[in-house]
Amino acid sequence: MPRIAFVGAGSMVFAKTLVGDLLSFPELADSEIVLMDVDEHRLEQTARVARAMVDNGDVGATIEATTDRREALEGADYVLNMINVGGTEPFENEIRIPEKYGVEQAIGDTLGPGGIFRGLRTIPTMLGIAADMEELCPDALLLNYTNPMAICCGAIHEATDVETVGLCHSVPHTAEAIADYLGVAQEELDYWVAGINHMAWFLTLEHDGEDLYPRLREAMADDEIYERDTVRFEMLKHFGAFVTESSHHMSEYVPYFRTDPDTIEAMTGTDYAGRMETATYLEGWKERSDDRDGALADVDTEDIGIERSEEYASRMIHSLETDTTRRLNLNVSNRTDAISNLPDDACVEVPCLVDGTGVHPCSVGDLPTELAALDRTNVNVQQLAIQGAVENDRNAVHRAVKLDPLTAAELSLGEIHEMTEELLEANAAYLPELD
């Protein structure tokens, strides 16, 4: 049975979900699962619930818990990464300092000043994990869930030999949303999706051979449906394809929606589009963080069963272990030439065939010119952020922020430079030494 290490298992609810996913497959139910986190209190809560799943499900898995990363990685076959480096203070700095300058982020975990600085404080730890893996489990596969996905995975691709894929649930969640808008069962949708993480595109969308895009445009004309996903419907209207990340996320990656309060208000609708206001996510995250220490403390372990979620990790491991072929949208290096009109060193999100022989990115060819152009604006920022982190290059960090589409739409070059210096100073304790 495989040895599966969870790094960042103090992300308790998510770790619990992934453990349940693994145990739901009979072929994986005897796995050796090692939970690791630097926070012993949260780690013990995750371990307590995981052991209850094993006992209640009468499966043969073993659950270990350790605060020693090297101990967890020793001999691992798979490493699931879900770390959060720094906690609340830098996250708040990454939202509030740009807000002071007029850069109104909604989430700040993927691109923009927030995503860049989150990447800077996360990559050193990621590279440490990779270095340990190269020594202790060189044949293991790293499955990354930590954002900013493309920046973190890109750094591992650039600086290490560790086989790495990034896993994100935005594709199935978007398929679920589209199915709801159209009144079609999600499992009956056929689609082909490619691009970059949080900005991949439904290149085809069908049901029983019927192109669903005309129906989706008709649905967009319904005010109630439109208000549920304002930004994504605007992108569909103007660029011809539906994108894989929710409206409040997507509004940060382009210069069109967040440069004045009236536009933000106009785009603030219902559902996820109701989260368009600056720092709404931050305040919710802080509240959840305050509750996190007790997230599983009061759970009655007698009632904990094994359930399977929509997350990809368990399906991927099951395919690799049992030679069961699946197609999953994964984040991989574009050195496989999966998307021919994006840079070779970009981290792309494309359909991949997974079976007992490994992970095989599909060849997508060229994205439509306008979609590739939108993705490139984000890839440019990602590449410079990676350079800044891997090479300790302060100028690269500055240039990454200056090329960010939203920031550049709001501020002058001098203002961006000043803002970046303030972010560097405020978060110095969490960042690598930059030259």
What is the Cα–Cα distance from 67 to 47, expressed in whole angstroms? 12
Cα 325 to its chain centre, rounded Å, is 24
Say which residues have a Cβ less than 8 Å from residue 160's Cβ, sequence separation at least 6: 127, 130, 131, 134
Q: What interhelical angle do 369-390 and 112-136 show, nearest 10?
A: 60
Say which residues have a Cβ less than 8 Å from residue 373's Cβ, sequence separation at least 6: none
Of 144, 110, 139, 113, the C-alpha closest to 127 is: 144
Residue 427, number of CB atoms within 10 A of its CB: 20
- 78 forms beta bridges with 4, 141
**41, 157, 169, 398: which one is catalytic?**
169
What is the Cα–Cα distance from 206 to 317, expressed in whole angstroms? 28
Helix, strand, coil in percent for the chain, rounding step 5? 50, 15, 30
What is the Cα–Cα distance from 128 to 292, expressed in whole angstroms? 26
Question: Is 249 in the active site?
Answer: no
Residue whose structure tokens are 């699931």: 80
Cα 48 to its chain centre, rounded Å, is 27
Q: Outline where 78-229 has alpha helix (H).
A: 88-101, 112-136, 149-159, 170-182, 213-220, 223-226
What is the Cα–Cα distance from 217 to 242, expressed in whole angstroms? 10
Residue 13, CA distances (Å) to 18, 228, 300 in order: 9, 27, 14
Catalytic residues: 169
